[in-house]
């Protein structure tokens, strides 16, 4: 990213200097012609040219001075790298879940069974507190990717391990205040106001995703 910005700066400065050079040559020619016709007008044009030159040089100086500050406002490459997490799904068996970190937050990834998919699709959406169809929460119905943070007070729900309590809807259960989530991560019971959030992610292959 830094190299791209540097190239862009050099290109812009190059174009600017080229245009300034052409404009200067034209101005000199016009000034010489006006000087022959009217010496007083030629003197005025030279003053205007000096004013324009001073403003131009000052503008270039300010731009060169401000560039490091503007560039420093962009996120560093290592910071941008922390904003995404690549996950290999190839070792996750059907019915298994894993937890990964994305921006310091837990993300639940579950390879759902056909029973769990069927159960998630059989729910009457209108009856939900936060109505959302299962197909709108997944990109591939087998894979459920969501943030593992309860929307009530931010606890981490249970349900990732085979030995965990999964709540009344065979999904996830928050032990802090008793919120229950179904196999699509939708809140079904308890004080949580919303479903477990879906982070931005995309499949880069059949067995890999990038979160963020």
- Collapsing DSSP to helix, strand or coil, 127 comes out as helix
User: What are residue 105's phi and psi, to 5 degrees?
Assistant: -110, 145
Decide: 34 and 45 in contact? Cβ < 8 Å.
yes
pLDDT digits 0-9 by tens, 122-180: 999 999 999 999 999 999 999 999 999 999 999 999 999 999 999 999 999 999 999 99
**Predicted pLDDT of residue 203:** 97
Domain boundaries, the chain: 2-74, 81-211
pLDDT number for residue 17 = 72
Q: How confident is the model at residue 5 (pLDDT cuts 50, 70, 90)?
A: low
Given this model, what pLDDT does residue 192 score? 97
Is residue 94 within 8 Å of residue 113, measured between CB atoms? yes
Tell me how far apart the alpha carbons of residues 171 and 169 are, in angstroms, rounded to a whole number.
6
**Mean of the per-residue pLDDT values of the chain:** 83
Instruction: Write a three-state SS string for 44-102.
Output: HHHHHHHHHHHHHHHHHHHHHHHHHHHHHCCCCHHHHHHCCEEEECCCCCCCCEEEEEE
What span, in angstroms and rounded, lies between the C-alpha atoms of 107 and 149? 8
Catalytic residues: 177
Helix (H, G, I), strand (E, B) or coil at 125: helix
pLDDT of residue 1: 46
Beta-bridged to residue 108, according to DSSP, are 99, 146
Query: Is the CATH code 2.102.10.10 the one for domain 81-211?
Result: yes
Task: Decide the pairing of beta strands 85-88 and 143-147.
Answer: unpaired
Give tens-digit pLDDT for 74-84: 555 555 456 89
**pTM for this prediction:** 0.63
State the average pLDDT over residues 33-48: 60
Are residues 185 and 146 in contact, defined by beta-carbon separation less than 8 angstroms?
yes
Model pLDDT, residue 183? 97
């Amino acid at each position: 990213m830094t190299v791209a910005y540097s190239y862009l700066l050099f290109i812009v400065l190059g174009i600017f200097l080229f245009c300034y050079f052409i404009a200067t040559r034209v101005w000199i020619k016009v000034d010489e012609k006006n000087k022959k016709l009217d010496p007083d007008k030629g003197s005025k044009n030279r003053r205007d040219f000096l004013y324009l030159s001073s403003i131009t040089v000052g503008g270039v100086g300010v731009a060169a001075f401000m560039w490091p500050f503007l560039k420093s406002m962009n996120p560093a490459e290592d910071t941008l790298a922390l904003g995404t997490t690549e996950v290999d799904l190839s070792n996750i068996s059907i019915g298994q879940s894993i937890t990964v970190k994305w921006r310091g937050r837990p993300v639940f990834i579950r390879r759902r069974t056909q029973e769990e998919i069927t159960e998630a699709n059989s729910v009457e959406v209108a009856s939900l507190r936060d109505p959302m169809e299962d197909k709108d929460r997944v990109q591939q119905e087998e894979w459920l990717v969501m943030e593992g943070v309860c929307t009530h007070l931010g606890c981490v729900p249970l349900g990732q391990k085979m030995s965990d309590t999964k709540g009344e809807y065979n999904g996830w259960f928050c032990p802090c205040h008793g919120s229950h989530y179904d196999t699509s991560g939708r809140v079904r019971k308890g004080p949580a106001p919303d479903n477990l959030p879906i982070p931005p992610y995309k499949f880069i292959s059949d067995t890999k995703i990038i979160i963020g």
